[in-house]
Structure 1
Amino acid sequence: MSISEVSVKKPVTALLVFIILSALGVYSIFNLNVDMYPEIDIPYLIVYTGYKNAGPEEVEASITRTLESSLSGLSGLKKMQSQSSTGLSLIILEMEYGTNLDAAANDIRDKIDMVRSYLPSDADTPLTIKIDPSMMPIMHLVLKGQHSSDELYDYASDIISPRLEQIDGVASAMIMGGRKKTINVDIPRDRLDAYGLTISQVAQMIGAQNIQATGGNIRSEQLSYSVKTDGKFKSIEDVRNTVISYAVASSPGGKAAPSVKKILLRDIADVYEGHEDGSTAAYLDGESSIMLLVQKQSGKNAVKTAANVRAALKNITESLPGDVEVIESSNTTDQIKRTIIEVVKSITEGMILSVIILLIFLRSIKSTVIIGLAIPISFLITLFLMFLRGMTINMVSLGGMLIGVGMLVDNSIVVLENIFVYRERDAKPSVAATLGAQEMITSVVASTLTSICIFLPMIMLSSRLGFMGQLFNDLAFTIVFSLLGSLFVAIALVPVLSAKYLVLGKSSNINTHTLFGKLNRALGIFFERVDGAYASSVRRILRHKAATVIVMIAIFIGAIVGAVKVGFIYMPEIASDTVTVKFELPKGTRLEVTEAYVQQMESIARQEVKGIKFSTVTAGGDSMLSSSATTNEGSLTLTLYPKAERQKGWDTDKTAKDKLRPYFTKFPGATITFGTNNNDTANSGISIDIKSNDLSLVAKTANQVMNLIKTQAADVVNEVTCDLEEGLPQLEIKLDRNRMYELGLNVASIGSEISGAINGLRASRYDDGGKEINIVVRLPEKDRAKVTDLDLIYVRNNSGTRIPLSNFAHTVKNTAPVTIFRENQSRIAHVTVKQVDGLSLGDVQNRIKDLIDKNILMEDDLNITYSGDLANMREAVMNFLAIIIMAIVLVFAVMASQFESFKSPFIIMFTIPLSFIGVTAIYALTRQRFSIMTVMGVLTLVGTIVNNGIVLIDQINILRKRGRTLDDACVEAAGNRLRPILMSTLTTVFSLIPMAFFPGEGSESMQPIGLTIFGGMTFGSLMTLFLMPVVYNLFNRKNERARVEELKRIEQENA
């Protein structure tokens, strides 16, 4: 007993099943996480090793090379990159997609343990870190008010940040701008000299006087008392009154015994509440402020987390002074919500257009409702299956639903039409529903399998596609789930509803005097004329088969030539309501200079760009990739009004970047890059990779390449950058070791004293109402402002004598390499460029390669290669082509099994390459460029375009078995299947109109898929209707002669 028969016999049970599935789908909507993209595991591991005070070359030689040699044989390793900078070795391991990163991290630790003894003894233990892309900030909050930035910092660090980090879903709330409070102890050099003290000696004394120690336990007869010595500072006065040393003072005339005088900290130093030297600064709309970057926890719902933060801020602000505001300057979840809403809107529009097409062809509201129900019910089943698999609602998964809208009704159309045939033969409703559905189960299952099996290779081989494989997995699973849902609806729900509600004589019962009746009659006449014209056209084409084939071949060749001219990009740009401008000044630039630069940039932006909602500026910052504060870096973020609120004449992110680029690229000494919050990492541009073991040769060649591109390729590229930075200005203190040993000194004490004099020494921590504040001992600014001040730093030897630095050392000015980059154990520099909008990526890279080949002298130890978007796209396209070929083989196998023939599937396969004509035409007409998303569209197209061919060829075979001649069978089958093919094609292509031609804000990356299927289905269906009868006729002409002769022989024998 089939599913259809069971459903018809037990309609209540069947309806309950679908009601339950629909309810589970509704439940899933409210419990699926929402994000812009699917959760993606980036297969990168970082080995982080600190080596304090060591230069880049020493770090490279003693740590990086040793670890690289050990890790080079790591299983699953694709590429190894490293950065050796002052005090830090960073090794970035790119693993093959699909690698178990937890197991790989354990292998890394084992390999590091094997060479740990070869690393410097004073180097830190290497740490292995896994990159999590979901930890990017989702919200930027700005704190402003009538207070100093330091006071605002205290509000942020004491009140806002701790409370935000308690919210479900929030990982951290990092503070930018402002400075931490400290107790500064500034000791002028003349006072140190007067009392014979050093910075480190004072710091040790402060630390020794601020201790809380336990003294064990005292047990009485009944109780046990813990003993605690509380010597912690209770106030800043306690700090000031700390005894630093003692001095013996003799009495006048020497008659009385000498007295001992206490030297207090207040006697030699200025002790006051202050703040650390700033390493970051933040501004909102030109005003100094504090910024908090809110990061969500991995796996948490970004939209819910942001909503939780917004709700909590209402309570948090009540704890702040009335004039202090917390402003939400940026929220990526707003973009997510707008994008999701736009995609859902496109799905709804697609559903409406599909239902209208059904109504036009069926001319029956009841039949349209029965078939139209397949769409929402299939979607709810899809959402439930997504929930079971742990997927998220995102632009890609919703894009899969949008692609499937038109295909969801195909199975229901086929089943309903066959049920209607039985009803016209006077079968009872239940019998017609059962037999009509049972007859078509094999056909609709085969049709669904052809659409589903194209995604199986991609799902199975997604690791070969890397990032794109993970991205498209959601698309594939969503389409597969929706098609399975539509199949279940077609064979289980449509028969039940047809048995109950399908009525014969739907056209004759309509009142022809009403508007609907007139439209129904007009459509009937129109379809009859179309049927007649199409049959005549097919008969005419069959008389000119050779000419038809030649014309199609010529058009196909033209499409291939046209495809080359369309151009290629890696990923389409996505519209955003933010523009981010990142810049980098020469290493060593002070924070104040960086602030001035970025404020000047903000001023220009506010003058040139229209429609700015907020402008936020950050200067400096701390990075895991650097051992020191990056005071030479900054960023400007323009938050534009969203599309719905944008007035006429206001700028988009693209026009804003076009306006600002000419200004910002002229800033002297600054490296500028533009981006948005959406696809900064998707389009990385073209990278020229320069490798050599000779670092000076790498640097020289990188400079030559940059100058060559800037002077001779400025018309095709912009944002030319290089990661090999200029040397950091450095004062190197050269020690005379013999003299140093004679004076009883050691390097550790010298280094500590120098660091303390310049940066300050943390002597201890002061408890300020439960908040720990550093006590920092240092020289005042005036005593450490000049290079010559270094010579006046004193170091105490083993006997307690103070010795000036000038007695055993001298200072030399030079530049030090900032970072040494390596890739696969060879030194490297990357020169990165981005092509001008509208230009083909391949053409631009070829132009650059020609320039380099003609102008750069290739030495023996020099190697120049190219990576970036084009290389990534070529690799992805080749992998996709392999998957498409596998998909075509599977589709062929399904059709061969259905027809029990190799010839019929082979004929149907002609529609696949010919549909590419429509793809090229639609891209040329819309002036779009091919991208990796186009390839995904082609893959989807392969499984859908053959379905119409299956319907037509199957009908031709049936008619020939009934005795029709070859030509008559081709013409009659074409006429019989015209309307089903048109209905299937038009529901698909019309449902894709919103995606293909009117993509919503943020969903532009899915547009190429819609365009590809739209163009391919439109032209491919025309080829099915007009060329398929010709191809079938040509392939079966020989068999037809034999069949005619056999029929004549049988007739003669019977005569």
Structure 2
Amino acid sequence: MSISEASVKKPVTALLVFIILSALGVYSIFNLNVDMYPEIDIPYLIVYTGYKNAGPEEVEASITRTLESSLSGLSGLKKMRSQSSTGLSLIILEMEYGTNLDAAANDMRDKIDMVRSYLPSDADTPLTIKLDPSMIPIMHLVLKGQRSSDELYDYASDIISPRLEQIDGVASAMIMGGRKKTINVDIPRDRLDAYGLTVSQVAQMIGAQNIQATGGNIKSEQLSYSVKTDGKFKSIEDVRNTVISYAMASSAGGAASGGIKKILLRDIADVYEGHEDGSTAAYLDGESSIMLLVQKQSGKNAVKTAANVRAALKNITESLPGDVEVIESSNTTDQIKRTIIEVFKSITEGMILSIIVLLIFLRSIKSTVIIGLAIPISFLITLFLMFLRGMTINMVSLGGMLIGVGMLVDNSIVVLENIFVYRERDAKPSVAATLGAQEMITSVVASTLTSICIFLPMIMLSSRLGFMGQLFNDLAFTIVFSLLGSLFVAIALVPVLSAKYLVLGKSSHINTHTLFGKLNRALGIFFEKMDGAYASSVRRILRHKAATVVVMIFIFLGAIFGAAKVGFIYMPEISSDTVTVKFELPKGTRLEVTEAYVQQMESIARQEIKGIKFSTVTAGGDSMLSSSATTNEGSLTLTLYPKAERQKGWDTDKTAKDKLRPYFTKFPGATITFGTNNNDTANSGISIDIKSNDLSLVAKTANQVMNLIKTQAADVVNEVTCDLEEGLPQLEIKLDRNRMYELGLNVASIGSEISGAINGLRASRYDDGGKEINIVVRLPEKDRAKVTDLDLIYVRNNSGTRIPLSNFAHTVKNTAPVTIFRENQSRIAHVTVKQVDGLSLGDVQNRIKDLIDKNILMEDDLNITYSGDLADMREAIMNFLAIIIMAIVLVFAVMASQFESFKSPFIIMFTIPLSFIGVTAIYGITRQRFSIMTIMGVLTLVGTIVNNGIVLIDQINILRKRGRALDDACVEAAGNRLRPILMSTLTTVFSLIPMAFFPGEGSESMQPIGLTIFGGMTFGSMMTLFLMPVVYNLFNRKNERARVKELKRIEEENA
């Protein structure tokens, strides 16, 4: 018993099955995570090793190279990059997609352990990290009020951040701007000299008198008492009253001879509540503020997490003074929600357009309702299957549902049409439903398989596509789920509804005096005339087969030529309501200078850009890529009003960048890059990779390449940056080792004393009501402001004698390499170029390559290669071409199995290359450029365009078996199948109109898929209707002549 027969015999059971599936789909809607893109595993592992006070070259030689040598044999390793900077070695391992990262991380730790003994003894233990996309903040909160930034920082660190981190889904709330509170102990140099002390000595004595120690247990007759010595500071006065021991020297700089004396800390130092030296600063709309970056936990729903934060902020703000407020300056989930809503709107609009097409062709409300139900029910089944697979509701998965809207009704149309044939033969409703559905099961299953099998190679080879493979997996699975759902609806639900609940009426029974009746009659006349005109056209074309084929060949060649002119980009640019401008000043730039730069940038932006909701500024920050604060870096983020709230004349993210770029690129000494929240990584530009073991040669060549591009290719590029930074200004203290030996000094104590005098030493921690505050001992600002102050720093030797630095060292000004970059164990620099909008990546790279080839002298140890978007795009295209070829083979195999013939599938396959004519045409008309998303559209097109050919060729074969002549069979089959083909095509292309021509905010990346299918289906279906009869006729002329000859022979014999 078939599924159709069982459902007709047990309609209540069948309906209950679909009601349950629909309910599960509704349940899934509220329980699926929502995000902008699918959850993507980024196959990167990071090894982070600290080596305090070591320079970049020493870090490279003693740590980076050792670890690289061990890690180079890691299974699944694709590329290894490293950065060696002052005090830090950072190795980034790019693994092949599909690699088990947990297993790879374990192997990596084992390999590190094998060489751990070869690393310097004073280097930190290497820290291994797996890169996680959830590290990107989902919200930016700004704390502002009529308070100092230090007070605001205290509110942020004491109240807001801890409470935010308790919220479900929040991983961290990192603070930017302001400074941590400290207890500062500033000891003037003259007092240190007067009492024969050093900074490190005082720090040690403070730490020794701020401890809490256990003293064991004392047992009485009944109880046991634990003994505790509480020497912790209770107040800042306790710190000031710390006893400092000193020994007076007989002469300045001599040995101690006057005995041990004591004095209170307050007598030699200024002890006060202060703050650490600032390394970050934040501003909102020009006012100093504190920013909190909220990161979600891995695997958590970003939208729900942001909603939880918003709800909690209402209670948190009640704990703050009335003049202090928390402002949400940026929330990426708002863009996610707007994008998802826009895609849902497109799906709804596509459904409505498809149903209108059905109503026009079917001219029956009942029939339209039956078929139209396939769309929402198939979607609900799809959502349930997505839930079972652990997918998310995102722009890509919803895009798959939108692509499937028009295809979901095809199976139901075929089944219902055949049921109606049986009804017109006066079969009973249940018999017509059963037989009509059973007859078409093989056909609709084969049709569905041709649409589904194209995605099988992509799913199988997704690891070769890398990031794109993971992205498109959601699209593929969503389309497959929706098509399977529509198949199930067609063979199980449509028969039930047509037999039991919505009995079909005949068009002759319609009252022609009503508006619907008149419209129905008019449409009937129109379709009859259309059928006749089409049949006549096919007959005329069959008389000029050779001319028709020649014309199509020329059109196809023209399309190929036109495709070359369209241009290719990696990914379409996505609109956003934020514009981010990142800049970098020369290394060593003070935070105050960086602040002034970024505030000037903000001032220009507020003058030039219309429609700014918020402007946030950050200067400085702590980076995992550096061992020190990056006070030379900053960013300006403009939050624009969303499209729905944007007034006429206000700027978009694109116009804002175009306006600001001419101003910001003229800032002296600054490297500027533009981006948005959505596609900073989608368009990374062209990377010119300069390799050599000679670091000076790499630096020289990188500078030559940058200058060459800036002067001779400025018309095609708008950003040129290099990761090999200029040398860091440095004061190098040259030590006289012989003199040190004579004086009884060692390098470790010298380095510690210098660092303590300038940066301060953390002597201990002070408990301020449960909050630990650092006690920092240092020289006051006035005693460490000049280069000559270094010579006056004293170091105590082994015998306790204080010796000035000038006795055994001198200071030299120079520059130090900031970072040494390596790739696959070779030194490298990357010059990154971003092309002007509208230009082809390939053309720009060829222009740059020609310039470099003509102007850069290639030395023996120098190698220049190119990577970035174009290289990634070419690799992706080659992988996609392999997938498309595999898909075409699978489609051919399915059709060959259905027809039990190789000839018919071969004829149908002609529609695939001819549909590309429509793809090229639609891109030319809309002035869009090809992208990776276009190729995904082509892959989807391959599985859908052949279905119309299957319907037509199958009908021709049937008529020929009934004895029709070849030309007559082609003409009659074309007339019979015209309306089903048009109905199937128009439901598909009309449902794609919102995606192809009116993409919502943030969903522009899906537009090329819609355009590709729209153009390919429109033109490909025309080719099916007009060219397929011609091609079929040409391939079967020989058989037809043999048949005619045989008929004549039989007639002659009978005569």
Superposition TM-score tier, normalisation by shorter sequence: over 0.9
* C-alpha separation in 1, matches of 2:817 and 2:20: 67
* C-alpha separation in 2, matches of 1:229 and 1:208: 13
* C-alpha separation in 1, matches of 2:170 and 2:334: 17
1:502: Cα distance to partner? 4.5
Q: Is 1:251–1:257's contact at 8 Å kept on the other side of the alignment?
A: no
* C-alpha separation in 2, matches of 1:750 and 1:452: 72
1:712: Cα distance to partner? 0.5
1:151: Cα distance to partner? 0.2
* Deviation per residue, 1:844-899 (Å, 9 max, x gap): 11111111111111111111111011110000000000000000000000000000
1:134: Cα distance to partner? 2.1
- Closer/same/farther in 2, CA of residues 1018 and 256 from structure 1, 3 Å limit: closer
* C-alpha separation in 2, matches of 1:1050 and 1:256: 134
1:501: Cα distance to partner? 4.0
* C-alpha separation in 2, matches of 1:378 and 1:44: 38
* C-alpha separation in 2, matches of 1:582 and 1:369: 55
1:111: Cα distance to partner? 1.1
Is 1:536 matched up with 2:530? no
Percentage identity across aligned positions? 96
* C-alpha separation in 1, matches of 2:783 and 2:1047: 114
Q: Is 1:247–1:263's contact at 8 Å kept on the other side of the alignment?
A: no
* C-alpha separation in 1, matches of 2:931 and 2:253: 97
* C-alpha separation in 1, matches of 2:256 and 2:611: 83
* Deviation per residue, 1:428-482 (Å, 9 max, x gap): 0000000000000000000000000000000011000000000000000000000
Tell me what 1:829 maps to.
829
* C-alpha separation in 2, matches of 1:803 and 1:146: 49
Q: Secondary structure at the match of 2:893?
A: helix
- Closer/same/farther in 2, CA of residues 211 and 945 from structure 1, 3 Å limit: same
Matches within 5 A, 1:794-833: 794-833=794-833
- Closer/same/farther in 2, CA of residues 251 and 38 from structure 1, 3 Å limit: closer
RMSD of the TM alignment (CA)? 2.2
* C-alpha separation in 2, matches of 1:255 and 1:630: 42
Q: Secondary structure at the match of 1:254?
A: coil
Q: Is 1:791–1:804's contact at 8 Å kept on the other side of the alignment?
A: yes
Q: Secondary structure at the match of 1:810?
A: strand
1:257: Cα distance to partner? 18
* C-alpha separation in 2, matches of 1:509 and 1:253: 119
Count of paired positions: 1055
- Closer/same/farther in 2, CA of residues 258 and 500 from structure 1, 3 Å limit: closer
Q: Is 2:366–2:504's contact at 8 Å kept on the other side of the alignment?
A: no
* C-alpha separation in 2, matches of 1:218 and 1:50: 45
* C-alpha separation in 1, matches of 2:596 and 2:336: 34
- Closer/same/farther in 2, CA of residues 610 and 249 from structure 1, 3 Å limit: closer
Is 1:164 matched up with 2:178? no
1:521: Cα distance to partner? 1.0
1:247: Cα distance to partner? 6.9
Q: Is 2:197–2:246's contact at 8 Å kept on the other side of the alignment?
A: no
1:409: Cα distance to partner? 0.1
* C-alpha separation in 1, matches of 2:509 and 2:656: 61
- Closer/same/farther in 2, CA of residues 212 and 960 from structure 1, 3 Å limit: same
Tell me what 1:841 maps to.
841
Q: Secondary structure at the match of 2:493?
A: helix
Is 1:930 matched up with 2:940? no
Q: Is 1:251–1:258's contact at 8 Å kept on the other side of the alignment?
A: no
- Closer/same/farther in 2, CA of residues 256 and 869 from structure 1, 3 Å limit: closer
1:113: Cα distance to partner? 1.5
* C-alpha separation in 1, matches of 2:255 and 2:382: 103
* C-alpha separation in 1, matches of 2:258 and 2:615: 68
Q: Secondary structure at the match of 2:318?
A: helix
- Closer/same/farther in 2, CA of residues 261 and 746 from structure 1, 3 Å limit: closer
* C-alpha separation in 1, matches of 2:432 and 2:333: 51
1:220: Cα distance to partner? 1.5
1:1044: Cα distance to partner? 1.4
Q: Secondary structure at the match of 1:83?
A: strand
- Closer/same/farther in 2, CA of residues 249 and 667 from structure 1, 3 Å limit: closer
- Closer/same/farther in 2, CA of residues 995 and 248 from structure 1, 3 Å limit: closer
1:515: Cα distance to partner? 1.7
- Closer/same/farther in 2, CA of residues 800 and 250 from structure 1, 3 Å limit: closer
Any unmatched runs of 5+ in structure 2? none
- Closer/same/farther in 2, CA of residues 252 and 482 from structure 1, 3 Å limit: closer
Q: Is 2:249–2:257's contact at 8 Å kept on the other side of the alignment?
A: no
Q: Is 1:210–1:764's contact at 8 Å kept on the other side of the alignment?
A: yes
Q: Secondary structure at the match of 1:937?
A: helix
- Closer/same/farther in 2, CA of residues 256 and 742 from structure 1, 3 Å limit: closer
1:248: Cα distance to partner? 8.6
- Closer/same/farther in 2, CA of residues 258 and 947 from structure 1, 3 Å limit: closer
1:1050: Cα distance to partner? 2.9
1:1053: Cα distance to partner? 3.6
Q: Is 2:691–2:863's contact at 8 Å kept on the other side of the alignment?
A: yes
Q: Is 2:254–2:802's contact at 8 Å kept on the other side of the alignment?
A: no
Q: Secondary structure at the match of 1:257?
A: strand
Q: Is 2:196–2:249's contact at 8 Å kept on the other side of the alignment?
A: no
* C-alpha separation in 2, matches of 1:1051 and 1:737: 119
- Closer/same/farther in 2, CA of residues 64 and 329 from structure 1, 3 Å limit: same
* Deviation per residue, 1:763-804 (Å, 9 max, x gap): 000000000000000000000000000000000111111000
Tell me what 2:1026 maps to.
1026
1:246: Cα distance to partner? 5.4
Q: Is 1:249–1:261's contact at 8 Å kept on the other side of the alignment?
A: no
* Deviation per residue, 1:504-552 (Å, 9 max, x gap): 5532222222221111111111101110110000000000000000000
Q: Is 1:570–1:683's contact at 8 Å kept on the other side of the alignment?
A: yes
- Closer/same/farther in 2, CA of residues 543 and 709 from structure 1, 3 Å limit: same
Q: Is 1:39–1:134's contact at 8 Å kept on the other side of the alignment?
A: no
Q: Is 1:70–1:115's contact at 8 Å kept on the other side of the alignment?
A: yes
1:1049: Cα distance to partner? 2.5
Q: Is 2:244–2:264's contact at 8 Å kept on the other side of the alignment?
A: yes
Q: Is 1:424–1:504's contact at 8 Å kept on the other side of the alignment?
A: no
- Closer/same/farther in 2, CA of residues 241 and 860 from structure 1, 3 Å limit: same
- Closer/same/farther in 2, CA of residues 189 and 257 from structure 1, 3 Å limit: closer
* Deviation per residue, 1:818-837 (Å, 9 max, x gap): 00001111110000011101
- Closer/same/farther in 2, CA of residues 792 and 10 from structure 1, 3 Å limit: same
Tell me what 2:1007 maps to.
1007
Q: Is 2:253–2:802's contact at 8 Å kept on the other side of the alignment?
A: no
Q: Is 2:247–2:258's contact at 8 Å kept on the other side of the alignment?
A: no
Is 1:1036 matched up with 2:1036? yes
* Deviation per residue, 1:57-98 (Å, 9 max, x gap): 011111111111111111111101110000111111100000
Q: Is 2:575–2:1002's contact at 8 Å kept on the other side of the alignment?
A: yes
1:259: Cα distance to partner? 12
* C-alpha separation in 1, matches of 2:256 and 2:540: 135
* C-alpha separation in 2, matches of 1:689 and 1:577: 33
- Closer/same/farther in 2, CA of residues 356 and 255 from structure 1, 3 Å limit: closer
Q: Is 2:254–2:801's contact at 8 Å kept on the other side of the alignment?
A: no
* C-alpha separation in 1, matches of 2:371 and 2:175: 56
1:741: Cα distance to partner? 1.2
- Closer/same/farther in 2, CA of residues 766 and 1052 from structure 1, 3 Å limit: same
Q: Is 1:86–1:819's contact at 8 Å kept on the other side of the alignment?
A: yes
Q: Secondary structure at the match of 2:31?
A: coil
1:261: Cα distance to partner? 6.0
Q: Secondary structure at the match of 1:830?
A: strand
* C-alpha separation in 1, matches of 2:377 and 2:701: 62
* C-alpha separation in 1, matches of 2:30 and 2:938: 33
1:616: Cα distance to partner? 0.1
Q: Secondary structure at the match of 1:406?
A: coil
Q: Is 2:195–2:246's contact at 8 Å kept on the other side of the alignment?
A: no
Q: Is 2:196–2:247's contact at 8 Å kept on the other side of the alignment?
A: no
Tell me what 1:421 maps to.
421
* C-alpha separation in 2, matches of 1:906 and 1:74: 47
Tell me what 2:621 maps to.
621
Q: Is 1:683–1:869's contact at 8 Å kept on the other side of the alignment?
A: yes
1:254: Cα distance to partner? 25
1:253: Cα distance to partner? 28
1:135: Cα distance to partner? 2.1
Q: Is 2:739–2:808's contact at 8 Å kept on the other side of the alignment?
A: yes
1:557: Cα distance to partner? 0.4
1:489: Cα distance to partner? 0.1
1:298: Cα distance to partner? 0.5
- Closer/same/farther in 2, CA of residues 192 and 504 from structure 1, 3 Å limit: closer
Q: Is 1:70–1:112's contact at 8 Å kept on the other side of the alignment?
A: yes
* C-alpha separation in 1, matches of 2:491 and 2:134: 41
* C-alpha separation in 1, matches of 2:629 and 2:257: 55
Q: Secondary structure at the match of 2:491?
A: helix
1:922: Cα distance to partner? 0.1
Q: Is 2:919–2:1012's contact at 8 Å kept on the other side of the alignment?
A: yes
